[in-house]
């Protein structure tokens, strides 16, 4: 279940010189560039300063963490929002979205095989075509469905293929798929290798509610209820890591440091590639765009991926982002010359 474990026991030394460790808190995270906030908080001692003992585990998808999160075997899980989360809440499992950890711009892009650039010009031209997404019930599925919706099509009008991002490049090359929804660095790799051409960014006129909340920290609702102060400390420490991430996102003076943290923790293998690729944005306070969550639910339900409507008031706990804003104050961008959107 768990691909890799990075474990650290940290102690907070209070002003009286007393060690005051809280319970061990386990954070499971899908290894991607936005997960840097977890490792920044660990490496830079933000958890230690908060007096919490944190263990970070790597997982391959957020949906696989729902059951162990609901039983409080882990306390927090970070990853892409998918239909499985809405189904878990609908089933009454004690899980809740506590913070956003990725949002517009997400730099997802549809690419085409080069031989089709004169045949597929608009989303309507996707009818009957083979289109690859990274997972069933995933954000990619939502983006594809939202785009098709604008021209009166549904997922049933295309042949949806589920492929991991690295598999999309050879499958484009051999003609197995016509279109793929890709993320950095795979988008650039496919274009540079000549197996794809850039086509559509779904956030540009196709996704209905922006900023689109794409990644989140889910938490055990039972753990939060029993350990509210510990949860607050953990989320503030994570937000400090997120703000460092945002400075690096905007090519601030700490970008090289953050890239080294990513490399050290097995996210990427090449410094230059990580430095040059597009990073997903996020909100410095972890605020969730609830309108975006409601639209995700709507589209997943329309496509038959939601078994039962979850209660809307059980989907998001917005209190922690307010606590973060109060504790950390306004976010001040260091590289004020940055023109990048998001992470502000």
pLDDT of 9 higher than 50: no
Each residue's pLDDT tens digit, 288-338 = 999 999 999 999 999 999 989 999 999 999 999 999 999 999 999 999 999
Domain-embedded: residue 344 = no
* Band of residue 259 on the pLDDT scale cut at 50, 70, 90: very high
Residues 54 and 92 in one domain: yes
* Band of residue 63 on the pLDDT scale cut at 50, 70, 90: confident
Place of tokens 């913070």: 99
Half-sphere exposure of 322 (CA within 13 A, CB side): 4
The CATH number linked to 92 is: 3.40.190.10
Q: Are 74 and 26 in contact (CB under 8 A)?
A: yes
Question: 4-8, 35-39, 89-93, 179-183: lowest mean pLDDT where?
Answer: 4-8
Cβ neighbours around 47 below 10 Å, total: 28
Coil, strand, or helix at residue 339? coil
Residues 319 and 297 in one domain: yes
Residues 195 and 310 in one domain: no
Q: What's the predicted TM-score (pTM) here?
A: 0.91
What is the spatial distance between Cα 119 and Cα 128, in angstroms, rounded to a whole number? Answer: 13
Region 101-124 average pLDDT:
97
Predicted local distance difference test score (pLDDT) of residue 68: 94
Residues 30 and 174 in one domain: no
* Band of residue 170 on the pLDDT scale cut at 50, 70, 90: very high
pLDDT of 266 higher than 80: yes
Domain boundaries, position 87? 4-105+211-328
Residues 118 and 192 in one domain: yes
Residues 176 and 315 in one domain: no
Predicted local distance difference test score (pLDDT) of residue 3: 37
* Band of residue 13 on the pLDDT scale cut at 50, 70, 90: very low
**Spacing of C-alpha 301 from chain mean position:** 21
pLDDT of 278 higher than 50: yes
Domain-embedded: residue 342 = no
Coil, strand, or helix at residue 27? strand
Q: Of 165, 200, 235, which marks where a domain is finished?
A: 200
What is the spatial distance between Cα 326 and Cα 344, in angstroms, rounded to a whole number? Answer: 16
What is the spatial distance between Cα 107 and Cα 91, in angstroms, rounded to a whole number? Answer: 32
Predicted local distance difference test score (pLDDT) of residue 232: 98
Region 216-240 average pLDDT:
98
Each residue's pLDDT tens digit, 40-54 = 999 999 999 999 999
Residues 95 and 167 in one domain: no
Residues 230 and 146 in one domain: no
SS (H, E, C) 306-334: CCCCCCHHHCECCHHHHHHHHHHCCCCCC
Residues 10 and 98 in one domain: yes
Predicted local distance difference test score (pLDDT) of residue 19: 38
pLDDT of 11 higher than 90: no
């Amino acid at each position: 279940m768990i691909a890799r474990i990075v474990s650290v026991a940290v102690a907070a030394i209070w002003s009286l010189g007393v060690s005051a460790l809280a319970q061990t808190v386990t954070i499971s995270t899908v290894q991607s560039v936005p997960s840097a906030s977890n490792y920044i908080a660990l490496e830079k001692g933000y958890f230690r300063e908060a007096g919490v003992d944190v263990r970070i585990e790597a997982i391959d998808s957020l949906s696989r963490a729902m059951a162990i999160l609901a039983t409080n075997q882990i306390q927090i899980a970070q990853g892409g929002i998918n239909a499985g989360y809405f189904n878990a809440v609908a089933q009454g499992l004690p899980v809740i979205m506590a913070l956003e950890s990725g949002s517009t711009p997400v730099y997802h892009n549809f690419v085409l095989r080069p031989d089709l650039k004169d045949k597929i010009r608009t989303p309507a031209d996707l009818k009957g075509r083979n289109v690859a997404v990274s997972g069933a019930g995933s954000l990619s599925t939502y983006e594809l469905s939202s785009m098709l919706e604008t021209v009166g099509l549904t997922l049933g009008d295309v042949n949806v293929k589920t492929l991991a991002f690295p598999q999309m490049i050879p499958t484009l090359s051999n003609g197995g798929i016509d279109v793929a929804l890709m993320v950095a660095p795979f988008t650039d790799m496919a274009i540079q290798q000549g197996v794809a051409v850039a086509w559509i960014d779904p956030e540009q006129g196709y996704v209905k509610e922006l900023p689109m909340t794409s990644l989140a920290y889910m938490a055990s609702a039972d753990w939060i209820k029993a350990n509210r102060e510990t949860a607050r400390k953990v989320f503030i420490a994570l937000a400090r890591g997120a703000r460092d991430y945002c400075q690096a996102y905007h090519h601030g003076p700490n970008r090289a440091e953050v890239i080294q943290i990513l490399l050290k923790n097995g996210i990427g293998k090449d410094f230059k590639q990580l430095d040059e690729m597009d990073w997903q944005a996020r909100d410095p306070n972890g605020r969730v765009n609830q309108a975006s969550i409601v639209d995700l639910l709507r589209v997943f339900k329309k496509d038959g991926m939601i078994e039962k409507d979850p209660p809307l008031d059980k989907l998001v706990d917005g209190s922690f982002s307010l606590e973060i804003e109060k504790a950390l104050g306004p976010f001040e961008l260091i590289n004020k010359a940055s023109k990048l959107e998001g992470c502000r």
